[in-house]
Each structure stands twice: as structure tokens, then as C-alpha cells.
A and B are shown apart, each in its own frame.
Chain A
Amino acid sequence: MDHAAAQLEKQHVHDVYESTAPYFSDLQSKAWPRVRQFLQEQKPGSLIADIGCGTGKYLKVNSQVHTLGCDYCGPLVEIARSRGCEVMVCDNLNLPFRDRGFDAVISIGVIHHFSTKERRIRAIKEMARVLVPGGQLMIYVWAMEQKNRHFEKQDVLVPWDRALCSQLLSEPSQPGRKQPCGPPERSPPAHPPCSVGRCSMCLKGPWDSKRSHSVDCEPILAGTCCASISKAGEEENGFCNTWGKSFRSWFSSRSLDESTLRKQIESVRSLKNTEGWAGNTISTQPSGRSSLDLDHPETFPTGEQHLDEEVFVGTAQKRLEWLRAPAPRKHLNGDHTGGGKFPDSASTDENCVDADDLEEGNPFASKLWRRISAVSATDSHPGDDAVSGKDQGPRGLDAKAFMRYYHVFREGELCGLLEESVSELHVLSSGNDHGNWCVIAEKKQSGD
């Protein structure tokens, strides 16, 4: 099972971050204030490790301490390095540090990428090992319970679609996107990263101009515009809000934890399309939207899924069909009328279903989401290369959509994990911060 877990993580965590790293280059995902506070409260002269530091947003928060950043993803580490941070590439499960070297450790949005409970525990134990007795560990993980949206499963795959990024930027109707500042953007609705990059310069207006300036030399973009956009509308998950509002899909992932596996095997047996595990770890919901949230994805409700059956959705056309299908599932909450309306908006104007509509509780929009979610999974089009990008309408699911695996945590789960399995740590405090469960724990003085 550990090998399977490693494979899942390789495909849906490591490879994704590695491939999407270029888009992160100037990306400053939200630096959670409480994390900053934790870092600033550390004694001057402290040695701190940021395990899973990404591009290094926390590494320079406190100039009175020495913070070492580590990440599994080489490209992200290179980016952090280019910003002058002291960083290295390593594995949370096997930290290359001597025991008791650090006064504090932070793990922000990291361990939710481990696909089994055992690996999550290992990751925490490794961090505890390298802490001095009395040293503190802060952990942030994505919460299953979200204010405005709802995960129905704990093991999920969240797509990231670069093409959607460029499309959104080229939207003439979107406010703030046409602020002239660099060379005017012609807005081709698509794909080459460079166009997106130039586009992001148009965002200089109300956004953090320093950030977008540094984009000038780089062919990056999806990431940058995302960061810029997110500044405008802070929301529970902070990151990529305005944008994230339009893109909230998530997909069910197979859970590799034993107990859930057993249940899955049972449910799979009763279905016809069972295929090998390797090919079908993912069950997908048809959706034209992808979450661009790079750290804390947005989500929307989906119906309960049969795992191991479906693969990626084929085309926009297919999507429209699903949407017209009668809502068959008990999970459907919204009303079933108005099915004909959706396809219209789903076609070219799909990407104009405003963030606002969704967020402000536009009743139509929210029913829309529920309807999508209730569509039977068996309607999806098998074959993961059926995903075609561009010509399928503005929201064709890009063939380059990257799916990131997350195990979202229930309330109390993280604390429970520590109390039950990591006896060397003592929980000092815990809470919810912008859709994340967070814990601060201290390494006990005695033992380990």
C-alpha cells in the first residue's frame, strides 16, 4: 500500500507541482497571518524549518530567525532560491536533518498531500524528530468543512487548468483586467503562456505592482494573474478567490486508507465498468471548471461517486448532455427545472458565469452546481485522452489539466492524529483559519 500511495502522490502531487512550477514563479499565494504571527513570535536566533516551503513565502517573514526551506519539488525550490532564500530539496518522510536541530517547524498545506494516514503520521513524526524539546510545530491542512462549499469526500483530486487561466484573463467583461500599463494585451483566448504573461501586466492597476513587475521578464502567468486576482477578493481560502469562485471543481480520489479501501472494493464490485486500479484511481465529475487554487482549492458539491469507474470527461458537448440529463440522484437538492437554461450559459458564456453569481448566492447558479454534481458519473466519457482542449468551447477541459491529490481533514482529525499517534508532541492549540485546520504542538521534554 505504501508503494501505491507513493505512486498516487507522484502522479497527483509531485509531478503536478513540478509541471506547474513555472506558473508559480511570481506567485505569492496567501501568507496566512497566523503563520506569520507564529514565525514572528519565535525567539530571535531561532532555527526554523519550513517543510514544504514551495516558493518560500514564509522564509523571510522574520529576519531575526534563520529559516531553512525544504520542498520535494525542485522547480519550486529553485524559485525560492532565486528570491534569495536558503532552501533544499528533500522528502518530508525522510528529513535529512539531525535530531533536535530546529527550534520550530512549520508545515503549511503539506501533509494533506499524503495519501495514507500512515504517511501523514510519518511526516509529522519526522518533523517532531528534528525539533528540540520544547520546540513548536505548526501544521496547516485543508479542511473538509468549508463555509461556502462542501467536500463530500476526504480524498479528492483538484484540477488545475492553465488554459482556463488565460481565458479568464482575456475576458473583456471582467473588471480590472484591462488596466493599461504595459504593452496592451490583444487577448487571444488562449494558450501560449506568453500571452497570459503579457495579460497579467494589465493587472497592475489595483494589484500589487511590485509583483507584476517581476513578471515582465518571465513567461509566466497563469500563476501570476492568479495571485494578482486573488488580491482583490479575499475569501475563506484566500487564494485565487475571484478566480477560484469560477473554478471550483474537485473530483473524488480513491482513498488508500485501509478502511475506506474495503468499502470501495465492495461498491466497485457491484458496477460493470471496473478496471484496474492503476488506471482508475480517479472518479470524475463532469465539470467545465477547474480550481486554480494553488494552495487551497475551492470546491463545490458533487454527488456521491462510484470510484474506479470513470475517467476524464471528454468534451464540452458531453458536458452539455449531462446537464440535460434528468437528475437521477438522491443527492440532488436543487430544483430540477430549468435544465434547458444551463446549456446556453454553458457554451460560450460559461466562463462568464461570474464569480459573483456563485458567491453571492445567485440561486440559479447554485442550483446549477448542484445539478452538475448530481449527474450520474456513468455519463462520463471514458478514456483519459478524450480530454481535448481548445476547440471544445472556452471551457473545454484542457488536456493539460493537472489533478492534485488532497486528503481534506475533518474537524478534530488532525488533533486526533497527533494525540493518538505522535506521543512526542503535545497539542497546544488548534483552530480553523480560512478553511484550514491548524494546530500548534510542542515537542515534549522527556523522551524521543
Chain B
Amino acid sequence: MKLLTHNLLSSHVRGVGPRGFPLRLQATEVRINPVEFNPDFVARMIPKVEWAALLEAADTLHLIEVPKEPIEGYEHDEEFLRKMHHILLEVEVLEGTLQCPESGRLFPISRGIPNMLLSDEETET
């Protein structure tokens, strides 16, 4: 699971609503997976990122040099873009958990795949 994916995930446990975001990440196995750098692509992703959630996740994973926010003129700042590229797309959580911040419900990540299925009782009606 990439951090860009984590940035989109939210808990859908019954009654939780928007308080289900972001999920608290915990990783027991992380891998760096090189991905071809495409500056245009990354630049376009930046506005879509929920930055606070990203920082929180990056912090859990002890990533260094994580920009606190998009800097002025980021679209043309290759260094910035490369860092973001690395954080969003190259860091892979292989094993770990995602926790609903409101209900505490844990969702597993196994072999890089988050499993977000809830039991019938847990889903919102």
C-alpha cells in the first residue's frame, strides 16, 4: 500500500462518518519500490493530497525530509517533486494495520493489500 492510497482511505464503520479519516497507520514491514519519476504527474497530484494525513502517516513510518506543505512554485521545484514522488509512490507498506481513529477498528494490510471489509454488523445501514 502506497501513502497516496492511504491518503484516500477512510473508515466506514457505522456512525463514524468523516471522523474516520485519516486512518492511523502502523507498519511492521515496509519496502521501497522504485517508480519512474514523472514530475508532471507528481505536480498534478500535489493539490489532491490531504497534507495533514500524509504527514501523520509519513511520521509513523519515520520518513525523513517530508515537506510540511506544498511550497511556492512547487510545480517547477524538482527537488520538492522528487521528495513527494518518493513519499507518495515509492514507499510501500507490506504488512501492518490501519486503524479507525474513531472506533479503533483495525484493518489489516497483508502482502501490500489493505483489507477494508467489514462484517455486516459493522457497516452503516
Contact = CB atoms under 8 A, between A and B. Distances in A.
B50 interface: yes
Interface stretch (A85-93, A265-273, A298-306, A367-375): A85-93
A330 interface: no
Given A64-B41, A103-B48, 10 more contacts: A45-B44, A45-B45, A66-B41, A77-B113, A86-B5, A88-B5, A88-B115, A89-B114, A90-B117, A98-B9
Contacts of A94: 12, 118, 123-124
Contacts of A96: 9-12, 107, 116
B65 interface: no
Interface in A8-48: 43-47
Nearest to A130: B8
A77 to B, nearest CB: 6
B80 interface: no
B113 A88 contact: yes
Interface of A: 3, 6, 43-47, 63-64, 66, 68, 72, 74, 77-78, 81, 86-91, 93-99, 101-103
Interface residues of B, number: 33
Interface string B52-70: 0000000000000000000
A97 B118 CA distance: 14
Interface in B2-48: 2, 4-5, 8-12, 18, 21, 38, 40-45, 48
Contacts of A93: 123
Nearest to A96: B116
A47 B8 CA distance: 10
Secondary structure type dominating chain B contacts? mixed
A34 to B, nearest CB: 24
Nearest to A98: B10
Given A72-B117, A81-B112, A81-B113, A91 B9 contact: no
Contact of B8 (A3, A63, A72, A97): A97
Given A64-B41, A98-B21, A89 B9 contact: no
Nearest to A43: B44
Given A68-B5, A86-B2, A96-B9, A91 B123 contact: yes
B50 A87 contact: no
10 contacts: A44-B44, A46-B44, A47-B45, A77-B113, A78-B113, A81-B113, A86-B5, A87-B113, A97-B9, A98-B10
- Which one of A63, A78, A89 has the highest number of Cβ atoms from chain B below 10 Å of its Cβ? A89
A14 to B, nearest CB: 10
Q: Most chain-A CB neighbours within 10 Å: which of B18, B45, B116?
A: B116
The 9 closest A-B pairs by CB, nearest first: A45-B44, A96-B116, A90-B116, A98-B10, A89-B115, A88-B114, A101-B8, A94-B12, A98-B21
Contacts of B45: 45, 47, 66
A6 B115 CA distance: 19
A98 B101 CA distance: 14
Nearest to A47: B48
B111 interface: yes
B79 interface: no
A47 B47 CA distance: 11
Given A91-B118, A94-B123, A45 B40 contact: yes
Nearest to B23: A96
Contacts of A63: 38
B1 interface: yes
B44 A89 contact: no
A63 B43 CA distance: 15
A249 to B, nearest CB: 32
A296 to B, nearest CB: 26
B72 interface: no
A97 B112 CA distance: 17
Most interface-central of B12, B45, B115 (chain A CB within 10 A): B12
Nearest to B115: A89
Contacts of A66: 4, 41, 45, 89
A45 B43 contact: yes
Contacts of B9: 96-98
Nearest to A72: B117
A110 B104 CA distance: 31
Contacts of B48: 47, 101, 103
Interface string B89-125: 1000000000000000001000111111110100110
A130 to B, nearest CB: 8
B113 A89 contact: yes
A77 B1 CA distance: 13
Contacts of B41: 44-45, 64, 66
Contacts of B89: 66
A94 B40 CA distance: 32
A101 B47 CA distance: 11
B116 to A, nearest CB: 4
B7 to A, nearest CB: 8
